[in-house]
Chains A and B, each alone.
Chain A
Amino acid sequence: MAEPDLTGGRAERAPYRELTVAAVVVGVVIGAIMTSAFVYVALKLGFGLAGSTVAAILGFAVLRGVLRKGSIVENNINQTVASGVNNASSGVAFTLPALFILGQQDPTIANFEVLPIMLSALAGSFLGIVFIIPLRKQMIELERLRFPSGIAVATLLKSPGAGARQAKLLLGGFAVATAFHVFVELGALPQELDIGAALGVPAYIPIAVGVSFASIGAGLLSGSGGLPFVFGALLAWWVISPVAVGMGWVPTPADVGLAGPTEAYEQFITWDVGYFGMLRPMGIGILIGGALSGVIASFPAIRAALKGLSMASKAGGSSDEMSSRVLYIGVALAMVVLFGAALLSSPDVGVGRALLIALVGTFWLALAGLIVAQATGMTDISPISGMSLIGVTLMFFLSGGNVVASIILGVAVSIGIGQCADMMSDLKAGHLIGALPRRQQLAQFSVAWIGVPVAVGVLYLLWGPEGGGFGPSNPELSAPQASALAAIIESLQAGAAPLDKYIGGAAIGLGLGIYPIGGLGVLVGLAMYLPLYITITYGIGCAINMGLERKYGLRWMGTTLVPVAAGFIIGEALTSLSAVLVRLAAG
């Protein structure tokens, strides 16, 4: 038996490795590489990729494998930094290309400057991080939101000490999800099982299940808390959609020049009318109302969190939390930068308008960041594109219809809200492994901005000296999200905005906020915003969780279900990423 060390080992032990130069440098390098690659992926395929899992695995390889000294919490810093840097990739790629695309058609838009773009993106990046400071306590410690991807990353980080059984379960979940997703990627399995079509049920009453172990995993980690999400989806697709058709609220076949209903007509009323015209905008409205009511309901807790941060400031910053001073100074500085970006974005934007844009933009960023963080926390799905769209719409009206200013400032919103969701998920992982939030936030503050010049630089590089490097006319890089944003801006220019649906939805969201389930409005709104098959798969995971918990109890859930579900999420995420890289390499 070894002799006890009565000195506590302090004499010869270096401090516990956490916020180290190695962790930050490795995180920045991984993050910058991911940003460059993921900007390209977003322009090509229209979706962004989260980098936390990849960063955690690479961090293990470098910090523990190569440098032979990485700790669990040090790898958490590396993964926080890498995903924070990478966050700019989708924020930039979903919004900014719209300016290039619209500039090709309209010479008055083509003459935009890079400086306000950089300023706006940097302001968004910092605002996203500072807004999370008071919300961390609320969402992670009080509301106990699940953040399934955060749990998955934490499970991965903890794997060296979790024991052989849990490692096997993690690997088992990983293998199952990988195998299924490989079949989906190869086309051997469909992405969605359309049971309704097989039964002859009309498309506007969909009965479908997604073939996604990541969605099942997210549901498994959420349990009964995710049920309102399923309720929202059923309300949207099994109540509102058939009621709208049955009551004749949608165009009839005769209205669209057809003798009778055809398959194309069914698809038209399901998607163009039902989804894009009714459910999606109302879902966005419910999300906004739900978040607003959440802020009101949580105000005492947020005030307590701010008071705690204030006390930390007075105590000289020795607390585990960032001080409230950082929050206030950060918000003020970022607002000044946003004001500068607005002023420089276009000669038509005067001081008064720029001030208004900075104020409302900051407020919207905070609210949208809250919505996205809450939605990610409860379901692992984040409505970033919808919130960015509202941000651009707001900026469009505030800037007096100035397209350049609205897109440039929309970049800030898009990056900022992405930063909120990403940071919160990393903080959840940090909580589970015992990281100090202040160090995580400090690391993200110091280097997350690096992703902005990388993403904007890659975008200019891909656009090329002659222009036209991406956009709807380029099949190689069609920039689907930005092209959609460009189309929406064109419709805004023509005077269209579904204001009735936003207002009606917001009222419903506010009403749902009274119900004693936190985030009910956000969950219902998010469900309306998504196709049914995604929600149903998640719901299956929730139902399995509830059944297993009842049968085996909480301990079993923690030791058995969590690693399996984490394996599902990690397996599908890595397979998707590999498939994207293989497709790109194969041209």
Chain B
Amino acid sequence: MKKVGLAVLVVGISLCASYGARLSPEMRAELSVSGMASLLGQTEKDAFKAWCAAGKGAPQAERDGCPSDAPPKAEAAKPAAAKDAAPKAAPTEASLVAEGQAKLATRRADGAGLTPDQAKARDAWLAAFEAQIAPSAKAKVALPTPPKQRVTSWFSESGLPFLLGLAMVVIGAVLARKAVKAEALSEAPRADGRGPVDFGVLLGELHAAAAALATRMDAGETAEAAAEAKLAIEAMQLEQFAPLVEARSKLQARYGLAGFAEVFGPFSGGERRINRAWSALVDDHWPEAHDSVNQAVGSLAEAQEALARVIAAQR
């Protein structure tokens, strides 16, 4: 059942995420315009670089804005932020095209004295420059599709397959949830071969280990006792806390999130106190380590009581 749920979810999410990502016709058109401007702009930049490389030393190259080999002149300090400048009137597509064409005409008129290779490179650049004038002007003034229209347009084109996929996601998730719950409630060994974990038994063993450590620590501080306590804590952290943490999903499925939180809150508090005892032992502070282990014992007892409560409530 879990695998079926997962399979339904995977198909569903593939469907709804694909159609969810689909662009509305307006967006496709918008991206086509900006894409054309960007790609032709890139071609123009490449052609410009080629012309600059070929036209080294030619006066036109400098007039066209090619970077010079000469050290850059010291720039005059930039004026302060244009706080007082009047805002410019918004350009139109026609005005931008006219501006581009005028630049092109000026540059074309400035072609005398070049070698054949230079002339070829410059002509290629000017052709690329001309090709991008209109698309670039169109992209600059194009108005984006308003958000509301994007939603309605996308939904009218992709809504049905999107909703179908979404329904499959929900169905798959519900099937998997049921399967996980059933698995948690079953006492049979799991598919991976590991047997069921009895949280209560493990928690009881952990509490007993912590209580025994606390009793040993009551005897007082010696270097040997500190070293022994540190080793005992490390063993508890790796061999007793870790499996209980691993078993938390089962506990949650069995007793619900609220019941799980009731048990795991004090359990985690106990874990943190044990961690603190370890740190205090490393820092050679026996009293803090001793207190922390005692507090951990209290927290773990609280977790045991909480577990008994949620089990009783479920019955």
Contacts and interface: CB of A to CB of B under 8 A. Distances in A.
Nearest to B235: A555
A71 interface: yes
B20 A467 contact: no
A501 B21 contact: yes
Contacts of A314: none
A524 B257 contact: no
Interface in B141-162: 143-148, 150-151, 153-155, 162
Interface string B24-60: 1001100110111011101100000000000000000
Given A8-B220, A304-B262, A554-B242, A500 B169 contact: no
B285 A434 contact: no
Interface string B230-246: 10000001110011011
A475 interface: no
B63 interface: no
Contacts of B4: none
A308 to B, nearest CB: 6
Nearest to A242: B18
Majority secondary structure of chain B interface residues (helix, strand, loop or mixed) = helix
Nearest to A506: B20
Contacts of A8: 220-221, 286-287, 290
Contacts of A249: 22-23, 28
B224 A555 contact: no
A188 interface: no
Nearest to B145: A496
A89 to B, nearest CB: 24
Given A240-B18, A433-B275, A144 B223 contact: no
A16 B283 contact: yes
B83 interface: yes
Interface string A68-99: 00011100000000000000000000000000
A270 B146 CA distance: 24
Which residue of B21, B38, B169, B224 has the most chain A CB atoms within 10 A of its CB atom? B21
A586 interface: no
A577 to B, nearest CB: 27
Nearest to B150: A500
A457 interface: no
Contact of B18 (A158, A243, A320): A243
B129 interface: no
Contacts of A243: 18
Nearest to A140: B268
B39 A264 contact: yes
Interface string A225-242: 000000000011001100
A512 interface: yes
Interface residues of B, number: 104
A107 interface: yes
A468 B81 contact: yes
Contact of A161 (B80, B85, B230, B245): B230
Contacts, number: 283
A482 to B, nearest CB: 15
Interface stretch (B98-106, B112-120, B173-181, B195-203): B173-181
A278 B21 contact: yes
A515 B225 contact: no
A224 to B, nearest CB: 11
Interface stretch (A49-57, A250-258, A443-451): A250-258
Contact of B166 (A255, A256, A277, A508): A508
A3 B17 CA distance: 70
A250 B28 contact: yes
A300 B258 contact: yes
A516 interface: yes
A45 interface: no
A308 B83 CA distance: 54
Given A304-B258, A434-B274, A508-B166, A5 B286 contact: yes
Contacts of B36: 255-257
A265 B258 contact: no
B275 A5 contact: no
B20 A504 contact: yes
Contact of B83 (A110, A436, A524): A110
Contacts of B81: 100, 103-104, 110, 467-468
Given A8-B221, A308-B265, A499-B148, A505 B282 contact: no
Interface stretch (B8-16, B64-72, B206-214): B8-16
Which residue of B35, B221, B222, B258 has the most chain A CB atoms within 10 A of its CB atom? B35
A142 interface: yes
A503 interface: yes
Given A2-B223, A265-B39, A554 B21 contact: no
Contacts of B242: 554-555, 558
Given A107-B87, A235-B17, A495 B143 contact: yes
Contacts of A244: 18, 21-22
B67 to A, nearest CB: 13
A277 B87 CA distance: 31
Interface of A: 1-10, 13, 15-17, 71-73, 100, 103-107, 110-111, 137, 140-142, 144, 158, 160-161, 235-236, 239-240, 243-244, 247, 249-251, 255-258, 264-265, 268, 272-273, 277-279, 282, 297-298, 300-301, 303-305, 308, 320, 431-436, 466-468, 491, 494-501, 503-505, 507-508, 511-512, 514-516, 524, 528, 554-555, 558-559
Interface of B: 9, 12-14, 16-18, 20-24, 27-28, 31-32, 34-36, 38-40, 42-43, 77-85, 87, 131, 135, 143-148, 150-151, 153-155, 162, 166, 169-170, 172-174, 176-177, 180-181, 219-225, 230, 237-239, 242-243, 245-246, 248, 253, 256-258, 260-262, 264-265, 268-269, 271-283, 285-288, 290, 292
Given A107-B87, A235-B13, A498-B150, 6 more contacts: A13-B287, A73-B276, A142-B265, A255-B35, A282-B21, A504-B21
